[in-house]
Chains A and B, each alone.
Chain A
């Protein structure tokens, strides 16, 4: 079978049109599985935190707690950029927040793939472009980017900030990082990791370098602006600027010292059985989280060994933060930050020939469909 020349060029160059085709195909697959499971696509995609984002986009930040078993939950842990965007879109397109959240997340992810592809081409000698596009569209946990979650906006802004920094467009990168820190807490890792990268490359000369490069210095200072504005807002709104941290108590986070949680979860390496429980709310496995955390640790070390200091610093900070806040967050938080996907791409690209990469993708797609099927069931381990 041979494609006409423009189509062949489109495919070989991974053009935006080709990415769009793959992206739409992946969403059709997600939609097909929803049909198969007799779930409405938008209902299936809008579970767990999606409802919080919808409520936040509709009503703004709470002034008092109102949900959960102990009535102690509020929407303070959710950062404002994504729900604010949902609110803006709804003022133009009068769909329900659930639909807008899902559509917006998908649009953001499409652009995130395009930007991340540019970043890969800029920072890697021979990136596996097709592998990357298919991995982003249909790889494990890719349904998080099709759901009404802020992950896809975070990917887009995170990759854009990294790309702009690579292009030495420091102030723009700083502005995007400021938006990133208003999207999710992990955005704060970007300016810190740029600082770490400078230090790794120049050691103590980095301070002199920064003092002589006002653009870089200003960009680094600009990055945390989104986070600090959010803290400032929360302080004025309900009296506690760190409510986004403390309110996580309502979800059982950090109720005991993290090392006790970790010590307990590290006792389990084979408890995969409950993942197949008929009751979705009881599907949970420490082993599942432990193995993914090990992969996260491996990718962090891999990135550092490749002297990709920025990416390694982000990955390491994320692993430490997530393990501190509870191992259940490991898969979602790792998927939500693009550096782990970059590391996975690098390892696959380096050690696997193209045919094996295709085989690997096929296995990963199947794994993702199993995860997605659990997602439609609202299985607890994907919360």
Chain B
């Protein structure tokens, strides 16, 4: 009985039709995802570098922000563009410019004195970084080759809990391959500066 039922061609046509209908419904669902805005922007539309809604790092007086592999969320919230994957010690810039975004937690200061801990990559002897804060030119740094050094940056604050965007433009970003330092042909990073972190220092510390 069941065999004769199954062997009827109409049953197979009917089941094929049901399957096609199921595929259409699933295709419709697949094309209309029910995902968070962060997921949509990061994975589907690719309009965001962040797959989560964590805020950018923030800095308060006498505190610091450090970079490194232990803080992967900073890769998109704070190290906005032009930075490599984070290493245990921090991260390298990998393009002609690099952008940093963070929040300054204060409603009582008119400026913040930040001390940046950086490394230079200057195999040809000169590497300069021009520093812009919120689009305004602020300073020029001379980065020593493969040596850790510090630079101060004076940031005027116009409102409480201000979000600051710092852009670094590099004079001579170098491809590692030019110096036989690339590990393989997929390594196309143009390195200029390594960033370990920065701290908000009080003026008296800056004078010491």
Write the residues of chain A forming the contact surface with B, with a CB cutoff of 8 angstroms.
65, 68-72, 214-215, 217-218, 221-222, 224-225, 228, 231-232, 235, 238-243, 246-247, 249, 268, 271, 274, 277, 279, 281-286, 380
Q: Are B12 and A283 in contact (CB under 8 A)?
A: no
- Please name all residues of chain A whose beta carbon is closer than 8 Å to the beta carbon of B73 when the two chains form the complex: 71
Q: Are B35 and A238 in contact (CB under 8 A)?
A: yes
- For chain B, the bracket of interface size reads 35 or more
- Please name all residues of chain B whose beta carbon is closer than 8 Å to the beta carbon of A240 when the two chains form the complex: 30, 33-35, 39, 43-44
**Minimum distance in angstroms from A247 CB to a CB of chain B:** 7
**Cα–Cα distance between A246 and B42 once the two chains are bound (Å):** 9
Q: Are A274 and B183 in contact (CB under 8 A)?
A: yes
Given known contacts A239-B33, A249-B43, is B19 in contact with A222 (CB within 8 Å)? yes
Smallest Cβ-Cβ distance to A279: which chain B residue = B183
**Minimum distance in angstroms from B181 CB to a CB of chain A:** 11
Q: Are B185 and A235 in contact (CB under 8 A)?
A: no
- Please name all residues of chain A whose beta carbon is closer than 8 Å to the beta carbon of B43 when the two chains form the complex: 240, 243, 246-247, 249
Q: Are B12 and A231 in contact (CB under 8 A)?
A: no
Selected contact of B33 from candidates A214, A228, A241, A268, CB within 8 Å: A241
**Cα–Cα distance between A346 and B86 once the two chains are bound (Å):** 49
Q: Say whether B151 faces chain A, with CB atoms less than 8 Å apart.
A: no
16 contacts between A and B (CB under 8 A): A70-B75, A70-B85, A72-B42, A221-B19, A221-B20, A225-B19, A228-B22, A228-B26, A231-B29, A235-B33, A240-B39, A242-B30, A242-B33, A249-B42, A271-B185, A284-B186
List the 5 closest pairs (A to B, CB-CB), nearest first.
A282-B183, A241-B30, A214-B12, A274-B184, A246-B43
Q: In the complex, which residues 56-95 of chain B have their Cβ closer than 8 Å to any Cβ of chain A?
A: 69, 72-73, 75-76, 85-86
Write the residues of chain B forming the contact surface with A, with a CB cutoff of 8 angstroms.
9, 12-13, 15-16, 19-20, 22-23, 26-27, 29-30, 33-36, 39, 42-44, 46, 51-52, 69, 72-73, 75-76, 85-86, 183-187
- Please name all residues of chain A whose beta carbon is closer than 8 Å to the beta carbon of B9 when the two chains form the complex: 214
**Cα–Cα distance between A231 and B29 once the two chains are bound (Å):** 9
Given known contacts A249-B43, A282-B184, A286-B185, is B16 in contact with A221 (CB within 8 Å)? yes
Q: Are B12 and A215 in contact (CB under 8 A)?
A: yes
Q: Are B35 and A69 in contact (CB under 8 A)?
A: no
Smallest Cβ-Cβ distance to B73: which chain A residue = A71
Q: Are A235 and B30 in contact (CB under 8 A)?
A: yes
**Cα–Cα distance between A68 and B26 once the two chains are bound (Å):** 30
Knowing that A71-B75, A240-B35, A240-B43 touch, tell me 7 more A-B residue pairs with CB under 8 angstroms.
A232-B26, A238-B35, A239-B34, A239-B39, A241-B30, A282-B187, A284-B186
- Please name all residues of chain B whose beta carbon is closer than 8 Å to the beta carbon of A218 when the two chains form the complex: 12-13, 15-16
Smallest Cβ-Cβ distance to A233: which chain B residue = B26
- Please name all residues of chain A whose beta carbon is closer than 8 Å to the beta carbon of B76 when the two chains form the complex: 70
**Cα–Cα distance between A70 and B16 once the two chains are bound (Å):** 44
Q: Are B22 and A277 in contact (CB under 8 A)?
A: no
- Please name all residues of chain B whose beta carbon is closer than 8 Å to the beta carbon of A72 when the two chains form the complex: 42, 51
Selected contact of B184 from candidates A221, A241, A249, A284, CB within 8 Å: A284
